[in-house]
Amino acid sequence: MPQLHLLVDADALLPTALQPALTSLLADNAEAEVQSLGPGCHAAPLDIAPTIARALRQFVDARLPRRATVTAASPVAKRDIAASFSRAAQRYDSVAALQRDVGERLLTLLDRESRDPDTVLDLGCGTGYCQPRLQARFPAARYLGMDIAAGMLEYARSRHPGAANWAVGDAEALPLAAASQTLVYSSLAFQWCYRPELLFAELSRVLRPGGLCLFTSLGPATLRELRAAWAAVDAGQHVNSFMPGEALQQAVERLPGVRLAWHTERVVMRYPRVGDLLAELKTLGAHNMNSGRSGGLTSRRQLAGMVQAYEQYREPAGLPATYEVIFGRLEKQ
């Protein structure tokens, strides 16, 4: 594994004087490099940022040639996702019927696994709804609830004061050591990860051999009625878009040593009025966050046209809202 170790003279913790010993320690790794950047203190990333940036760029260009594959820009910014769900934390559970049902279903599937993990990572834990069940199912395991939204974790801590650990973290860049987790549970969080190659590379990195990740996500048929109703009014982006299971499968196939099994199910929620669905999405923090959405306000005429178009789907039980739920099982070989 290519490594670059940067040292500065006045760093009281890691001074340049360590260079000979560190070079000797890494002698068996031909891809490891130790550099001294000269003057600087422990705050070097702030004090000499341009110097560090040049050293990193030179190292990357020399040791890690650029590959042909390019990851497309995410349609939703992570900061927007985190901010939206943080704002929604206090009222999230009051409208999260689908999220509870899918989470309970995933817990049922987890009950079928004959495993006794010593760690349980609840990735995208939200308000911590599943924490009691996970802790009861695996009482000897060390529980860690992780979410990208700090507001969600603050609410989870207050709701579960006796629970163990909570941490802010992005599933595509997990702040965890390699091979540190034996079980990852994640319900309806991965749909907000638009770079599956990073998501599954990170899961593969942090899982121990034999480790397991059970997850649910949302597919592209989610809210198809709402999407079609808006399409009858204009060509704007009014509904969040999600990746199909095939994209997840393709991302896993590029990774050695992991295996993914998945299937999809359709879950239909029903509402008396379109406004009830829109209000629920807003309260959940799952309203339209696409970067391509219109910057202006939706006019009353547009909204009325969408509502009228949605009415064609009305059934005796109400207006349907379809969710395509992906159930996945990722195992580290």
How would you write the pLDDT of the chain (333 residues) with one tens digit per residue? Answer: 789 999 999 999 988 999 999 999 999 888 889 999 988 899 999 989 999 999 998 888 876 654 434 445 578 889 999 999 999 999 999 999 999 999 999 999 999 998 899 999 999 999 999 999 999 999 999 999 999 999 999 999 999 988 679 999 999 999 999 999 999 999 999 999 999 999 999 999 999 999 999 999 999 999 999 999 999 998 888 899 999 999 999 999 989 999 999 999 999 999 999 999 999 999 999 887 776 666 556 788 999 999 999 999 999 999 999 999 999 999 999
Q: What is the pLDDT of residue 214?
A: 98
Q: Specify the 3-state DSSP secondary structure of 261.
A: strand
Instruction: Compute the radius of gyration of the chain from its Cα atoms.
Output: 23
> What domains, with CATH codes, occur in the chain?
3-63 (no CATH), 78-332 (3.40.50.150)
What is the predicted pLDDT for the residue at 67? Answer: 43
Global confidence as pTM: 0.78
CB–CB of 146/124 below 8 Å? yes
Contact 7, 34 (CB under 8 A): yes
- How high is the pLDDT of residue 66? 47
pLDDT value for 77: 87
pLDDT at res. 294: 60
Residue 94 · residue 67 · CB < 8 Å: no
Q: Give me 277's structure tokens.
A: 């669905």
Please spell the DSSP secondary structure of 304-325, one letter per residue: HHHHHHHGGG-BTTBEEEEEEE
Whether 323 and 266 have beta carbons less than 8 Å apart is answered as yes
Alpha-helical runs (H) found in 211-291: 224-231, 245-253, 274-284
pLDDT at 31: 84
Percent of the chain topping pLDDT 70: 94
Query: Which pLDDT score, from 0 to 100, does residue 74 have?
Result: 73
Q: How high is the pLDDT of residue 70? A: 42
| Amino acid type, 173 | A
